[in-house]
Structure formats: structure tokens, C-alpha cells
Structure 1
Amino acid sequence: MADQPVLARLRFGREDAERDVTEGLLLRGAFLSNAAYRGALSGHKMLIIGRKGSGKSAICMRLMSDGEGGHPGGKVLVTPDEAAGEEIRRFELQGLPGDSAKALIWRYVFAVHAARYLVDHAKGAHPGCHKADSVKALGRFLKQNGEAPGGGRLVERLAQGARGLQTSLSLEAFGIKAGVELAQSPSEGARAARQLEIVEQGVAAAFGDLGCDGVVHPPFLLMVDQLEQVWSAEPDSNSMVIGLLLAAKHAAGLYGRSVRFLLFLRADIYDSLSFGEGDKFHGDELRIAWTEQALRDLALARARASVGEELTEERLWKELFPQTVAGEEITAHLFGRCLPRPRDAIQFLNLCQEKAWLDHERERITEGDVTLAGRQFSEWKLKDLTSEYLVAHPFLRQLFPLFQNTGYVVTRAALTRRFEAAVDTLHHDFPAYANALTLQGVIDVLYGVGFLGVRRGNDVVYAGDDGLAVQPHETEFQVHPCFRAALGATTAFDLRRYEPQVAGARIATGSLGPGTPGSSSLNRDDRLLMQLARSCHSILAQVGRAVGLTQDVRDELTREINRVLDEVDRIPAGAAASVGIDVDDHLLAAAHYFTTLAAQLRATGLEESTGIGDVTRRVEEEVRRLRRAAGGSYGSSGDSHGY
């Protein structure tokens, strides 16, 4: 392997943290410490919230590791599978609302894991203390209730615990005969709560007797991850998550510094919850956010871990990768086309390497490799977005045609026209979501999932950049660069491309020659071509003054007008007639193109304040001027181009 080219050995890791750990990359210096990791490690935060692929599981795996960067104390990770999730979702207790009932089953899970830890910990870290009454009581409780270490799968233990809470747990280990002493409980829920309190008090007593207060040695770390695998947008699923939050808050207060809780939740799940005590969790929240610079640092760390040498940033981005793609600096191009999360960056970078090395055995990635990888990556991400939000927004895929094969800048007016043409079909196919499938509802969903950004001032803001939702007065949106190639939306507006006239073909074949030697007077054809050039410059000047337009829109307009101007500039003076070019037809064809352009600009729906109206009027004015010129009026033109 060492004798292979660097590019052959270059990898940026796996898309999932579990395989990254298995293959060792995550533990070989490829993990990048960030605010979420530091907050989790320090115990200052309990809720780590992020989108799919944002690195939640990577933090979890890092903390679970035994080496540097891992939690130094006891730890356990709970990852419910579908069967376990179904057991929790179905759990209910007479006399308690769903959220409270689910909180009890989670508290039971936490108490059992803490009890298991204490029984084992007392033997290894506190010689002789395993004989303490409180520790022995926990051991007996676990055995009597089938919860001893090495027991069945989580779903089996959950089912057994649920039955115990709904009927009676074996509490003789704590000196309680449940059938007698709890018989007077007013409801099933009250009886279950009382049973659980006895168990939790027994766990807390053992922590106290052992002196495990998080000072002598690190606290016991209890983490819950992968909850999205068992979540659906149903009330029981929401209650399952709310119950988890309530249980963790309760247990953290009960066990104090002895136990630390970490819950890893996907942002869309957490943000969809609504419950009375939700405001009490804000101080525990930490949302994972990635900047372009952080993704660059992560990419470099992973590249170094894979190559096995001190790979410099200079070499990575200027030798192994091309320095620019389509005139854009390489890292801006790459990371600007990813949603701001590690999984996307890893996939795109690996795909670039595969296009170069696996497909062509090149030792450097070319601009073409990046372009091809970008198209495939964009298709992946559009499909992945549908899958990511399939539960919450099953109609998402049916919204994408509203943006296909058109410009990536979309105004509210243009989107209104497209949506009105599709709304009946959407309501027919998704009747349960008819209330959400309004124009504003669709905009809110597309903004929330990161598909659309909204223009604010001179910037385009995407979800995560700004906590403010799309406001009713905001009228200009952009499809995220990640999805543009897959949609065929690769230009700002779907402006008709200017196609060169006859002159272009003749110039390309070298048919045009210089004008008559010694001729200095301008003939009519030359005057018409000069008029066309002046019109182009006038329009370009107006575009330049339209500072309210986004740079992408100005660039696209400038590019098309320059195509017209470049063709004019390539015709030598006095040569048009000699090669059979009808300049009148050429001028009128350009005027017709400008007429179409003006109509397209009016149809964009951009606000007048952007300057688009002034540009449109300037184009229309130049069309009239060109048509007058072609009609023979080229004496005193009365031009007032304003540039």
C-alpha cells in the first residue's frame, strides 16, 4: 500500500460513524473536536441536536471509545431497534397521559442500567464495597426481575419491565412486598410510579454508599442514540421522545453528579415536539453547526489519517485537487455544494477521488472529475433528502418538479404560478397534508429541510444560518447548490441562451477577411454593428447599476449580453457584406433576442427594488433603437445611453 500513489491511498472515511470506528479511521486522528463534542464531554449539555449526517453518532462513538477522547468512566449506549421502539410506543398506564407513561418506562431503563453498572463497579473499583447492603439489594433486584447482566435483548427486557410496571415488579430486595404494600394505589399509573420510585431510591442509595459522586472518579455516562430509527410522525412516537426527555431530566436531578445523561436527537424530530415542559430544556440543548472552515479542517484531518503521512493543506487542495473548478476556488466549490454536515462532505470528496483514481488511475483529481462527481453527488442528495424527511414530509419528492429545468433563483410570484398548477394533484395525492400544502406551507417546508434559501439583503440564507423563518414579505429564493445539478437548474434564471448568427460560423471557418485596404469611411453595415455594440454596452451598464440584484443574476445577464457583443466585435470593419452576411437581419435577430430577454425578466417576479425593472426597460429601449436603425434611421439618433 505504501508504494501506491498518494491519491490511491486517499480516503475521507465512511459516511457512518459505526464503520469509521470499525475500520479505525475515526480513532486515528480523523475525529475533529467541536463545540458539541466539548459540551458532551464536559457534561454541560444533555441534548445534542443535529441533522442527519451532522456527526451526532461520531461524537457518541468517540465518547464510547476507551482511548484518548473517550469518556474515562463507566458508560453505556442505548440504541433502540424497531422492536424495542414498538414496545415503548405501545406502553401505557391507566391514569397517566402518554408522555408520563413513556417517561416511566425510560426511567426504568435508566435505573436498570445504573444498577448493573453499580453492581459491577463495586466489585472492581471499590473492593469490599460490593457487600454493602444497598449494592447487594440491587444485585438481588436485577436477578429477581430478569435484568442481570448478560440477560436478553433490549426488547425482551423492555417487555418484561413494562409488564412489571403495569402489574408488579419484584421489590423484595428492597424489603417491599409489592402485592400487599402497593395494593392501595389509586390507579395503575400511580402504582407503577411508586414501584419505580423504590427502585430509583435503591440506585441512589448505592451511589451514595459507594461515594460515586463524580468527584472521586468520573460519573457513569448513559447515552441514547439512533432514536430516529424507531420514530414516526405519530402521537405515540412523539410521546416516546418526550417521555425520554422527561425521564432524563428527572433522573439527572435524582442521581446528581453520579450519572451523566446524553441524548442524541435529530433536529427535525426535536423541533416537531410540543409539550408543556419544553422550555425547561433550552439550557440543555446544544445544536451541531458546521462552517465551511470546519468542514475543511475535518477533510484535512481525515485525509491525513488515511494517507499516513503529514499531508499539507497546500498539497491537498492545490496538487491532489484542482485549484479551481469553473473559475471557483476548489474548497468553495466543494463545500458550497454540500449541506453543512460531515456526511455530505465525506461522500463528495470520496466520489472525486474515485472518479480520478478508480475510473482513470490518475494521480491527481481533474476539474472534469470534480464536475462528474458533482452531478452524481447532487442526484444522491436529492434522493437522500426525500428519504430523510419521508416520515415528516412524504410529499417532498412531488415538490421537486416545481424547480426542474429552470433557474435556481425563484421568486414568490413565479413559485405561485407553478404551485397553482400543481396544487390540485398534491391535495389529491396527499389529502392528510392538505392544510400544510399551501404556498407558504411549501416554502416553509423547503426552507426548513435546506432545499431553498431566502435572500436577505445581499446574502442568501439557508436553514441553520439564521433562526428566523421565511417571512411573508420575502420574495426571492434560491435552490441550494447541492441540488441544482440533479434538477437541471444550473443557471440563475432560465434565460434563453443567445445563439451566434451566421457570422459566428463564418468567423470560425476563417472566411472573414479584413475590409478594403485604405478604407476609412464607415458604411451602413458598420454603423449598424456599432449601434448594436452601443446597445450591448448600454444594457451592461444598466445591469452593473442594478446593485439590488444578486451577483448570480447579474453574472448571468452579463454573460448573455457579452455573447452578443463578442460576436459583433469579431466582425472586422467592412467585411460583413463581402461574405454575404445580412447585417440588417443580424441586427433584427439580436433585437428579437433582447425582446425575449425582456419578457423573461418581467416574468421572473423580482422586486422592482432590485433594479430588474430598470434593466428590463433599458433592454426594451435598446430594442426600439435597434429596430429604428435597421429601418434606415441612422442619422441623428438622439441616443442617450447613460453610461
Structure 2
Amino acid sequence: MHEVRVIHAKLELGVDLDIRTVVFLRRNIFEYIISSIAREEDKLSADVTELTWDDRDTLLRVIDERFRVAGEPYGWSGDPWQTFFCPEVDGVPTRDWIFRNVLPRPRDLIKYLNTCIEVAVNRDHKRIEADDLKEALKSHSSFALKQVLAEYKAEEPWLQQALYSFMGTRSEWSFKALTDHLTALHLDRGLPQDVRDAIATLVAVRFMGVKLASGEVRHASTYEDGIVLREKVRVTPVESPLGFVIHPVFHAHLGICGDEDPTGALTEPVGVTDESAPPVEDGGSPVPVDRKASGSSWFEMIEKFFSTLLGRDK
């Protein structure tokens, strides 16, 4: 606010200022402006820079920094992933597992890890275990789907019923099977005239990824990716080998079946290697914690972190 007052005072004095405005827009709002309002799209897009989070280390650094800030009052400055998290989930490194199962956006990641912390603290765990991560994902799955609907339902009124039509189905779809599924629906608000436009929207909102002939699954992680994948869907024959995969974050809420379901059987995590990590008994199970004896240890630090994320300490 101080800077704003200084600028206002200078303007009143007639001082010439070189001021440039930066407007931060959520991606769905920018997409709506481009598709529905902008008369000269090329001019509007020329001065746009998208903040992308499709790199795992860049996204997870958000959590690294928040742990660092939360740990400062306790003199802690270790590696949060070694200290506060189990190293693996079903044989997959925890960082990779989280990145794979959460939409790559800071607010989604923070919301998910808030839930992980709540689950771990409620279970008196001294670190976030694999079963905590999986249990939290079940709750986060509902949040993720509601976010998609909140962002896109106004422009795509058919979207809610279409998304819920996948409840209890499978995670992978062929182009023809997905086309048949959507065409057979009886929706209050009809699908776009060309069902491929509906599929393109499911891809653009990141509900589904496109599985290419090579086996690679591409998600619309950026605005440009969304444009490319939309056009890929629109020009590809339905009989092609192009496939579609529902993002894992939506599996739990919709009861999606598939080999990639992240909420399946728990694999026992191995012990942490960081010397500052909490002690474990033989077999890798955390030592039962005594809150009184632990003092300003894990519980205070993790609860401080939780408060920092939610802004409760301000």
C-alpha cells in the first residue's frame, strides 16, 4: 500500500511516471477472453506470459519453501521430503507419486498437502506415510473435480453431467468407445454438435489426457498444449488408435477402475535416510509418539507448517 500511495502522490504533483500494468488471470478466464471477447486475438496474446508448472521440481519447490519458512522458528533447515515424508509409495518415489496424481498447479498441491498433514496428525504419525498420502488423495479428488466444474461449467453447461457419467467406469478409453459413451448420454444440456468438440473440451480442462500411438500420455498442462491437443482431437478420425486417459486425481471421487488407480493396495514404505528424521522401529514403522515428550518436535513444526499454509499464523 505504501508504494501505491507514493505513486498516487507523484501523479497528483504532475510527475511523469512510466507505469506498466501486469494483470494476473486464471487460465480459464484468459481462455474465455481469447475465445469469446477478443477481437484481435493475436495482439492480446502477444504480451502474454503463462506461468507453467509442468516441471516437477519447479512445482514442488513451492512446498520446499513453505517448509523452510515454517521450520525457521525451530532452527530446522533440513530436506522436508526426507524428514516429513515416506520415501516411496507403491515403489514410486514420493515426489514423483505426488506429481503424477495431482494437477500441476500450486493451489492444488498446497490443498492436497494440507489434507495429507491433517490425516497424518490425526493418526499420530511422525511423518506423512504412504497410507496418509492415499487417504488424503481420496478427499482431494472431490476438490479437484469441483474446481474443474467451478472454472468451466458456465461456458460448458453440459460438463457436470458428462463428468459424472464416468463414475464407476475405466480410466482408459479408445477414441471410438469414448465417442459412443458421450453420444449415448441423455443430458439436460446437450453436448456440442460435434462430439469431438466435447472430447476436446474434456482434454482442455485436464480431465483427460491424450494417449498417443507411442504410448505417451499428453495433458493440457499449458494453454498452448490445450490448443494443440484440441486440434489433434478435432482432426483425428474416430477409428484411429488415439486413446484417452482420465487423470489419476479424479479416480477416487468417481470410483474409476484401472491399473493406474493411485488409491489401491498399500506398499509398506522403507525407512528414511535423513539423520534428522524421526526414529523408526524394526520393519520401518514409526515409533508411537508421545506428544508431551516430543515437545517442539515434529507435531509443533508440522502444525506450524499447516497454519502457515492456511495463513492462520498471520
- Taking structure 1 as the reference length, what is the TM-score of the superposition? 0.36
Higher relative contact order (CA 8 A, sep 6+): 2
What does 1:195-274 align with in structure 2 at a 5 Å threshold? 206=14, 210=15, 212-213=16-17, 258-272=18-32, 273=34, 274=37
CA RMSD of aligned residues (A): 2.4
Residue 373 in structure 1 maps to residue 302 in structure 2? no
User: Any stretches of 5+ residues in structure 2 without a counterpart?
Assistant: 262-314
SS in 1 for 2:256: coil
Write the distance in 1 (CA, Å) between the matches of 2:41 and 2:180: 39
CA shift digits 1:149-179 (9 cap, x unpaired): xxxxxxxxxxxxxxxxxxxxxxxxxxxxxxx
2:61 corresponds in structure 1 to 297
The residue that corresponds to 1:75 in the other structure is 4
Deviation at 1:468, TM superposition (A): 0.7
Contact 1:402–1:415 (8 Å) recurs in 2 = no
* 1:366 Cα deviation after fit: 1.6
| Partners of 1:438 and 1:402 in 2: CA distance | 18
Partner of 2:243: 476
1:333 is aligned, of 62, 84, 97, to 97
The 3-state SS of whatever aligns with 2:24 is strand
SS for the counterpart of 1:453 is: strand
| Cα distance, 1:336 vs structure 2 | 1.4
Residue deviations 1:381-418 (CA, integer Å, cap 9, x gap): 11222122221122211012332222211111211222
* Structure 2 residue identity aligned to 1:488: G
Letter in 1 for 2:47: D
Native 8 Å contact 1:334 1:348 kept in 2: no
Aligned counterpart for 1:363 among listed residues 106, 111, 126: 126
Q: Which residue of 1 is the match for residue 71 of structure 2?
A: 307
Equivalent position amino acid for 1:483 in 2? F
**Secondary structure, counterpart of 1:261 in structure 2:** coil
What does residue 164 of structure 2 align with? 401
- Higher alpha-carbon Rg: 1
Cα distance change on mapping 1:332 and 1:437 into 2, 3 Å: farther
Amino acid at match of 1:439: V
Residues in 2 aligned to 1:353 and 1:415: alpha-carbon distance in whole angstroms? 37
Separation in structure 2 between the aligned mates of residue 344 and residue 385 of structure 1, nearest angstrom: 11
- In the TM superposition, what whole-angstrom CA distance separates every residue of 1:413-440 from its partner, at most 9, and x where no partner exists? 2112222321xx22xx11xx55x25421
Answering whether residue 211 of structure 2 is matched by residue 448 of structure 1, we say no
**Amino acid aligned to 1:312:** G
**Equivalent runs, 1:407-446 vs 2, <5 Å:** 407-422=170-185, 425-426=186-187, 429-430=188-189, 434=191, 436=192, 438-446=194-202
Name the structure with the higher helix share: 1
Aligned partner of 1:343 in structure 2 is: 107
Q: In structure 1, how many angstroms separate the alpha carbons of the residues matched to 2:181 and 2:211?
A: 20
Q: Which residue of 2 aligns with 1:491?
A: 258
Which of structure 1's runs of 4+ aligned residues deviate more than 6 A? none
Partner deviation per Cα, 1:333-355 (whole Å, 9 max, x = no partner): 11211111100100111111110
Query: How far 1:490 moved relative to its partner?
Result: 4.0
Q: Indicate yes or no: 2:14 matched with 1:121.
A: no
Q: Is the 8 A contact 1:455 1:478 kept in 2?
A: yes
Q: Aligned residues: percent identity? A: 27
Q: Give the secondary-structure state (helix, strand or coil) at the position aligned to 2:136.
A: helix
Q: In 2 relative to 1, CA 277–415 (structure 1 residues): closer, same or farther, beyond 3 Å?
A: closer
- In structure 2, which of residues 114, 127, 146 is the aligned counterpart of residue 383 of structure 1? 146
Structure 1 unaligned runs (5+)?
1-63, 67-73, 77-115, 123-129, 136-205, 214-257, 493-551, 554-643
Q: How many residues align?
A: 244
CA distance in structure 2 between the aligned counterparts of 1:397 and 1:320, rounded to whole angstroms: 37
TM-score by length of 2: 0.70
Pick closer, same or farther for the CA change 1:282–1:421 going to 2, 3 Å. Answer: closer
Provide the rounded CA distance (Å) in 1 between the counterparts of 2:174 and 2:125.
Answer: 43
Letter in 1 for 2:97: H
Deviation string, structure 1 residues 281-310 (Cα, Å, up to 9, x no partner): 333101110121111111111111112244
Quote the Cα distance in structure 1 between the aligned partners of 2:42 and 2:20. 21
Mapped to 2, the partners of 1:400 and 1:267 lie a distance apart of 20
Q: Give 1:476 shift.
A: 0.1
Distance in 2 (CA, whole Å) between partners of 1:480 and 1:437 is 25
Matched, 1:286 2:49: yes
C-alpha separation between the residues in 2 aligned to 1:462 and 1:75? Answer: 40
